């Protein structure tokens, strides 16, 4: 059952370099009996099992962060045991391979298409997920991220990047005037204090603002000094990107705030619908005690769920604490359990 997982992890595919892995995965889906397997115009790997009018979309991502890790399996002596090491084993080729194997195990379901998508560029601007928004109309969507085999992801925070830029006229160092670098540091302290004050009323991490200072840069040209802070903020449901940008501009009124990249609102799924109930039953069928998880990160569910407006959740094997780490690895036994859970769920959803 681990052939798809091992083969996919062995094809190193950081964002922007996914082609080899995409081509391998489409060939793998053909071998496993998918009706169609192709590379779309965005570079996504797509496989379709079945030919019905109704759709379940399994959206994973095939790109990883940079940093190649030699692919290897360390056995623990059992037939299905051992650990697979390699970049993407957890984030998130484990989930994507699970989608492929589960769709193959579930097979063709009358009246339904099971569409598996290995999207590109998720670790950057989610170009692959954005490309498919107007190309599918699923009744259910399952997004692949590591949450362990017995947990269901029902919440992901939003994200907003911004540059805060302070400018000051050039002056002599003995003048005592505030420099652009000093103004930028003061802006950071003011922003941080405001975020901490907001968070005091929100005991749950999922409901807090999570602020990160990613970059600092300072320069001068003989006439003017400027300093730039690159901020990333994880947003709660109660704060849209637009509200956050306005709040940020008010905090640093003597500096300029520039939006960077795409801003993404937070997302929360529903507990009481058929998709979630089916996964709860599927996890119990494999001897698990299911639970829900609300993550502080952001993923492609934030992009597709608001557009498709269908029941959605996030599922996949692996320990997210190992995301992006040099020790990234996944349990093959957990992978097997996740494939069984998902195939069970697909069969039930397509009844």
3-class DSSP state of 72:
strand
Residue holding tokens 């697909």?
Answer: 346
- Hey, CA dihedral for 40, 301, 147, 34, is it positive or negative? negative
Encode 309-326: b = buried (16+ Cβ within 10 Å), e = exposed: ebbbbbbbbbbbebbeee
Among candidate residues 18, 101, 121, 122, the one labeled active-site is 122
Determine the Cα–Cα distance for residues 100 and 203; give it in Å rounded to an integer. 39
Determine the Cα–Cα distance for residues 48 and 55; give it in Å rounded to an integer. 10
Note if the bond before 92 is cis, omega within 30 degrees.
Answer: yes
Determine the Cα–Cα distance for residues 163 and 42; give it in Å rounded to an integer. 29
Determine the Cα–Cα distance for residues 144 and 95; give it in Å rounded to an integer. 5
Among candidate residues 18, 63, 121, 328, the one labeled active-site is 63
Given a contact cutoff of 8 angstroms between Cβ atoms, the answer to whether 98 and 149 are in contact is: no
134 belongs to the catalytic site? no
Name which of 139, 152, 136, 118 is nearest 300 in CA terms: 118
The DSSP-derived string for 99-131 is HHHHHHHH---TTEEEEEEEES-TTTT-HHHHH
99, 292, 330, 342 from 71: Cα distances, Å? 20, 31, 11, 25
The DSSP-derived string for 234-296 is EE-TT--HHHHHHHHHHHTTTSEEEEEEEEE--EE--SSSHHHHHHHHHHHHTT---EEEEES
Determine the Cα–Cα distance for residues 98 and 280; give it in Å rounded to an integer. 17
268 belongs to the catalytic site? no
Catalytic positions: 63, 122
């Amino acid at each position: 059952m681990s052939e798809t997982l091992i083969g996919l992890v062995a094809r190193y595919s950081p964002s922007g370099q996914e082609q080899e892995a995409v081509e391998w995965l489409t060939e793998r889906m053909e071998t496993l009996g998918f009706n169609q397997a192709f590379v779309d115009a965005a570079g996504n790997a797509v496989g379709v099992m079945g030919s019905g009018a109704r759709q379940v979309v399994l959206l994973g991502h095939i790109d990883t962060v940079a940093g190649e890790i030699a692919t290897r399996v360390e056995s623990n002596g059992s037939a299905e045991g051992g650990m697979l090491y390699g970049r993407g084993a957890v984030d998130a080729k484990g989930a994507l391979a699970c989608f492929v194997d589960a769709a193959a195990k579930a097979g063709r379901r009358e009246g339904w298409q099971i569409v598996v998508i290995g999207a590109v560029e998720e670790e950057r601007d989610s170009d692959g997920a954005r490309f498919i928004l107007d190309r599918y109309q699923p009744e259910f969507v399952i997004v692949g991220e590591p949450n362990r085999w017995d947990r269901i992801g029902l919440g992901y925070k939003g994200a907003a990047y911004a540059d805060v830029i302070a400018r000051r006229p050039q002056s002599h160092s003995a003048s005592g005037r505030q420099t652009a670098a000093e103004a930028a540091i003061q802006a950071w302290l003011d922003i941080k204090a405001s975020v901490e004050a907001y968070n005091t009323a929100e005991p749950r991490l999922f409901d807090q603002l999570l602020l990160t200072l990613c970059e600092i840069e300072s320069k001068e040209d003989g006439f003017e000094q400027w300093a730039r802070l690159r901020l990333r903020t994880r947003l709660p449901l109660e704060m849209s990107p637009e509200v956050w940008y306005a709040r940020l501009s008010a905090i640093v009124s003597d500096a300029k705030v520039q939006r960077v990249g795409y801003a993404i609102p937070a997302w929360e799924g529903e507990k009481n619908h058929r998709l979630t109930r089916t996964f709860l039953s599927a996890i119990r069928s494999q001897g698990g005690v299911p639970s829900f998880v609300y993550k502080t990160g952001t993923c492609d569910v934030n992009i597709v769920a608001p557009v498709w407006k269908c029941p959605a959740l996030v599922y996949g094997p692996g320990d997210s604490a190992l995301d992006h780490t040099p020790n990234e690895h996944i349990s093959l036994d957990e992978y097997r359990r996740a494939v069984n859970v998902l195939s069970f769920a697909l069969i039930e959803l397509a009844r």
